[in-house]
Chain A
Amino acid sequence: MKIIKAGICDSIQDCGRHGFQYMGINPGGAIDMFSMRTVNLLAGNSEYAPVIEMSFPAASVFFDAPAIIAIGGADFSATLNGKPVPLFHPVKTGANSTLKFEQWKEGRWCYLAVNGTMGAEKWLGSYSTHTKINAGGWKGRLLKKGDIIPFTDLAPVQDVDDKKQEVLKWKAVPFYDSAPADEIFVLPGNEWDYITDEGKLIFQEQLFSVSRTSDRMGYTLEGAAVSINMPCELISSVVDFGTIQLLPGGQMIVLMAGHQTTGGYPRIAHVIKAHRTKIAQLKEDKPLRFKITDIQTAEELLLKQEHHLTILKNGCSMMWADYFKK
């Protein structure tokens, strides 16, 4: 697989490295883990295998050998050899195929899984790219034009000609929960009560949007300022993906996959884990609303999401077993 045009922020990610935060090493990993796991399963990989994570404008990719791939997450109008390819379907690609992302349509992060073993660098148990310390993924950096990522154990791909592709008929269905698409469920943080009553209303009733300057580390929210009862300086303590920090000016930052391990700003709320995928994909054009929920609901949604992926996993292994029998 060769990168023939670089994207602006494309990197290799997996489920992240865990167990090293005590040394200041953040877990990283795919920002939309749900889409990452889905494309892996569709492509016949283990759900936690490394994938290419892309934002728009995304890289153009050339496949010299036939492969089975799956694309999902954000919709960047993907084309293979000039023909549109649907998201969340397994696709057979012939040798000398070119994958391009033509136009931004929806979402923020798109994932590409290729069936086989990616020849990337594993650092501290994970293939996720740690760009700060230049380790893991592809030379510890974002993907550049000319990078050739080798794959081994490629699945045998038959009946597809050079520069041609075939979209397999089965696909992954989206995961829906009862919440409206613009609603992000949160749990109150330890410093929730530092906010003024007016601030609490603003937080729950106003619309916020993710600013353009947001990145893998954090999403800065635009909207009304949330005020605090008294200025406070907290001693640094641990933060997590989904933690909503309140800056002194009243602006909020939602910490994302590339967040630092610790922080000192008030943690006013936490996005529930089941809604990380939803907030991760929000662009500046899609305003969001926060809804305070309880731990029971958060856990139920997370288990439902896990169940959804288990069903997909079982379905995919059946389909692939069947496919390779032929």
Chain B
Amino acid sequence: MRNYFPYTIFPLGDTALTVDFGNCIDQDISAHIMGVFKYMQANPVQGFIECVPAYSSLTIFYNPAILKKEIRSRETISDIAKEKLEEILEKKSCTLTDQPRTVKMPVCYDEAVAPDLKTILREKKITKQELISLHSSPAYRVYMLGFLPGFAYMGEINEKIAMPRKATPQKVQAGSVGIAGNQTGIYPINSPGGWHIIGRTPIKLYEMKDSDNFSTFFQPGDIVQFYSISRDEFENY
């Protein structure tokens, strides 16, 4: 695996910086980003509030009132934050070596829980069996969590079933499996959403143990294998 990826850093307003590794979906870049993220979680920097990984970028939020104390000469606080961030990005120890975890995910592709299934079959001129096979045979990688608590962005789906986002978001039930562009994802909670819904999983995607502990079913880097279950199996899961 390459251990060097070119990047640019741009300010996300006046209290955050984004490290951009290029507008692309790439497993190696994603693994590198998670490496940097885990390094930063384990080695917190004074003045940095939080670090948030995405597909091909990583954003850090900082507290200007704290970083201000380190200003020398004519620098801005944003410059200080950037220097600190670059220092971390140059470290070799950031590269992730963890083996990805593989998770199996049951999905019921029944029309009753898949409001957009018919539209896709009609538009793509494929049978339901073909759709199930096209969606559930590849192993997907979880690239990032975002949008809603525990929502995992996974890629990349077969071009034959790629659908654009809906023009207007609609109500989506918790557990709904959606597709948008070359991505697939599952809604952890009821929410408005713009992805086409092709199935639903009975698995709960997050756990609230108590007021201090929250865990998500998926982690970035996970390899996900969907498998089809019947309506009956779904109802009695």
B-contacting residues of A (Cβ < 8 Å)? 18-25, 121-125, 132-133, 135, 187, 189-190, 233-240, 242-243, 260-262, 267, 270-273, 295-296, 298-299, 302-303, 306
Residues of chain B lying within 8 A (CB to CB) of residue A238: 12, 16, 18, 52, 54, 57, 59, 146
Number of B residues with CB within 8 Å of any CB on chain A: 49
B214 in the interface (beta carbon within 8 A): yes
Query: B50–A270 contact, CB under 8 A?
Result: no
Interface string of B57-100 (1 = CB under 8 A from A): 10101001100100000001110000000000000000000000
Query: B211–A240 contact, CB under 8 A?
Result: no
Residue of B nearest to A242 (CB): B13
- Complexed CA–CA distance, A260 and B208 (Å): 20
- Which chain B residues numbered 147 to 172 have a C-beta less than 8 Å away from chain A? 147-151, 153
Query: A299–B149 contact, CB under 8 A?
Result: no
The smallest beta-carbon distance between A165 and chain B, in angstroms, is 35
Residue of A nearest to B37 (CB): A22
Query: B211–A123 contact, CB under 8 A?
Result: yes
- Complexed CA–CA distance, A234 and B55 (Å): 10
The smallest beta-carbon distance between B176 and chain A, in angstroms, is 15
Query: B10–A190 contact, CB under 8 A?
Result: yes
- Complexed CA–CA distance, A268 and B185 (Å): 27
B15 in the interface (beta carbon within 8 A): yes
Interface string of B8-39 (1 = CB under 8 A from A): 00111111101010011100000000000100
Given contacts A21-B50, A23-B145, A23-B149, contact A187 B14 (CB under 8 A): yes
The smallest beta-carbon distance between A82 and chain B, in angstroms, is 39
Residue of A nearest to B44 (CB): A19
Query: A237–B54 contact, CB under 8 A?
Result: yes
Residues of chain A lying within 8 A (CB to CB) of residue B179: none
Query: A25–B149 contact, CB under 8 A?
Result: yes
B216 in the interface (beta carbon within 8 A): yes
Query: B216–A299 contact, CB under 8 A?
Result: no
Residues of chain B lying within 8 A (CB to CB) of residue A235: 23-25, 54-56
B112 in the interface (beta carbon within 8 A): no
B181 in the interface (beta carbon within 8 A): yes
- Complexed CA–CA distance, A228 and B16 (Å): 25
Task: Count chain B CB atoms within 10 A of each CB in A25, A135, A189, A271 and give the residue with the most.
Answer: A25
B123 in the interface (beta carbon within 8 A): no
The smallest beta-carbon distance between A123 and chain B, in angstroms, is 5
Residues of chain A lying within 8 A (CB to CB) of residue B145: 22-24
Query: B56–A272 contact, CB under 8 A?
Result: no
Residues of chain A lying within 8 A (CB to CB) of residue B55: 235-237
The smallest beta-carbon distance between A219 and chain B, in angstroms, is 15
Residues of chain A lying within 8 A (CB to CB) of residue B25: 235
Interface string of B130-151 (1 = CB under 8 A from A): 0000000000000011111111
Residues of chain B lying within 8 A (CB to CB) of residue A260: 146-148
B121 in the interface (beta carbon within 8 A): no
Query: B18–A190 contact, CB under 8 A?
Result: yes
B232 in the interface (beta carbon within 8 A): no
Query: A298–B54 contact, CB under 8 A?
Result: no
Query: A303–B68 contact, CB under 8 A?
Result: yes
Query: B24–A295 contact, CB under 8 A?
Result: no
B223 in the interface (beta carbon within 8 A): no
The smallest beta-carbon distance between A137 and chain B, in angstroms, is 12
Query: A236–B214 contact, CB under 8 A?
Result: no
B120 in the interface (beta carbon within 8 A): no
Query: B146–A299 contact, CB under 8 A?
Result: no
Query: B59–A237 contact, CB under 8 A?
Result: yes
The smallest beta-carbon distance between A126 and chain B, in angstroms, is 10
B126 in the interface (beta carbon within 8 A): no
Residues of chain A lying within 8 A (CB to CB) of residue B10: 190
Query: B214–A20 contact, CB under 8 A?
Result: yes
B230 in the interface (beta carbon within 8 A): no
Residues of chain B lying within 8 A (CB to CB) of residue A295: 11, 14, 76, 78
Query: A132–B57 contact, CB under 8 A?
Result: no
Given contacts A18-B61, A132-B148, A132-B189, contact A262 B13 (CB under 8 A): no
- Complexed CA–CA distance, A240 and B61 (Å): 9
